[in-house]
Amino acid sequence: MDKRITNNIAVAVLWVAAGITVAVLGAIIIYVFVNGVRVLSPAFIFTWPHGVNSEGGVWPTIVSTLYVTILSMLICTPVAVLAAVYLAEYAHQGRIVSIIRFAADSLASVPSIVMGLFGFALFVEAMGFGLSMLSASLALSLLMLPIVMRATEEAIRSVPRYIRWGSYGMGATKWQTVSKVVLPAAAPRVITGIVLATGRAVGETAVVFYTMGQAIWLPISPLESGRPMTVHLYLLAVEGINLPAAYGTALLLMLMILGFNLSARWILKRYRKV
């Protein structure tokens, strides 16, 4: 077969694959938007659900979602960043490091429902935290950990070696070089990984369903329960008690995740310009 024909066929297949992906994503966004925008209003966002049909708004679920997401980010980030610094800068490359990386990759592929059951057994039952924001945050941090850890490690490895050599040449120690030179240079990509991991945590359902509970109120203490937007959406849709509110919740959740993803792209784009 002629090389030009082969090339045209390959390009056509790639365009079709890309078109199908964009079309499916666009169809989902349009469907959720058309059905959810009709109920979206300030009253829907800032009021409480009430009645047997969960009429009203979704404000407590928004607060619970942001609460558990921020708390899980605060738990996950220090552990993931320090682990990545150790693997990239201090650990001798060998079998142990390979096992750690393999474990992190395996943790990233664990189904969320399995992580939810593990979180329920460990944090809710064994450690006695109960169905609470803390239990859900600890379970979500396990999902976020490999994403932030690998993103941070790759960001650190992307920092040019001559930057380190210049720091050592000025008499800096290993830790001074890592903390004051390498990490600031890698910070934009590290933040991008944290934002993407946070976006995944916002959209998780199974983990928070098993560890957080379904109480509709504004949590104050980490040991209090709450209802995130994903669980609220699940209950509204499965029980069929208020489908318009379910679509409105889905639209808000989609906009929230989109905001996290766009923020990550903006940070990375700004870093490339610098």
May I ask the CATH class of domain 42-273? mainly alpha
Distance, in Å, from the CA atom of 122 to the CA atom of 130, rounded to the nearest integer, reads: 10
Largest CA distance in the chain: 70
pLDDT digit string, tens, across residues 124-149 = 999 999 999 999 999 999 999 999 99
Q: Where are the domains of the chain?
A: 42-273
Distance, in Å, from the CA atom of 39 to the CA atom of 253, rounded to the nearest integer, reads: 14
- pLDDT for the residue 123: 94
For helices 243-273 and 183-202, angle between their N-to-C axes, nearest 10 degrees: 170
Average pLDDT score over the chain: 87
pLDDT digit string, tens, across residues 47-103 = 888 776 677 788 999 999 999 999 999 999 999 999 999 988 888 877 888 888 888
